[in-house]
Amino acid sequence: MCGRYSLTTEQEALAVALGVEGLVHPTPRYNIAPTQQVPVLSWGDGSGRAGTLQAGVQRWGLVPSWAESPSSGAPLINARSETAHRKPSFREPFRRSRCLVPADGFFEWVSGAGGKVPFWIHRPDRAPFTFAGLSDAWRSPEGEVVESFTILTTEADDALRRIHHRMPVVIEERRRAEWLDPEASLEGLRAVLAGARSEGLVTTEVSTRVNSPANDDPDCVVPVEDSGPRGIVEQTSLF
């Protein structure tokens, strides 16, 4: 799964790297947690036309448009890529409102003798990438609108399976347009999802400071200093 992630790249550099204008990312984020408002990318220019990568801010934890209220159930922070296209909460978003979630790392935890040990999984140069996401808009009778999203996950490959059996789907730059294409077929979209790999990612053990969502600062991604059983820094080779 993916229960926390980071977006530490400065806004200007992130906009250039992703080829998008108007990115709403005023400060680096080192420990993004569910229900928080974060940037999401989609095709469109605000007039309904596709073909331009646009940024907006949405709540992490999808609220289906048909939900009774935004607090009527647990936040849907992840969706299984293998079945999302046929699940009631995700079926319509999969068909009509796919998105990209910018990040430059994500966290997973491994149980150790002293408790849960956190790992930050990122590119060696800390460059940003994008998760596959689904978004939806919930509207109240009074006109309140809550835009929200979920991150798609897939079965972990050999490089990450020792840490967790699931991993977020990272959409390579060359396949972003395919994922967002409003005319894409179900078979084509499933092929994009099935091609997700963790090649090129670095797995770094970090401070347990990241365990609390109240902490959101550079210390959350500082590697541990010791080289004993809890000191693991491993490279595998995402794009």
197 versus 214: the higher-pLDDT residue is 214
116 versus 234: the higher-pLDDT residue is 116
pLDDT attached to residue 50: 53
Task: Report the number of distinct structural domains present in the chain.
Answer: 1
Q: Is the pLDDT of residue 227 over 50?
A: no
Q: Is 2 a catalytic residue?
A: yes
Longest dimension (CA), the chain: 57
Q: What is the mean pLDDT of residues 102-122?
A: 92
Q: What is the mean pLDDT of residues 75-104?
A: 96
CATH at residue 208:
3.90.1680.10
Question: Among the options 2, 99, 147, 220, which is catalytic?
Answer: 2
What is the extent of the structural domain holding 155? 5-235
Kindly report the pTM of this predicted structure. Answer: 0.90
79 versus 200: the higher-pLDDT residue is 79
Question: Among the options 99, 108, 147, 172, which is catalytic?
Answer: 108
Q: Is 99 a catalytic residue?
A: no
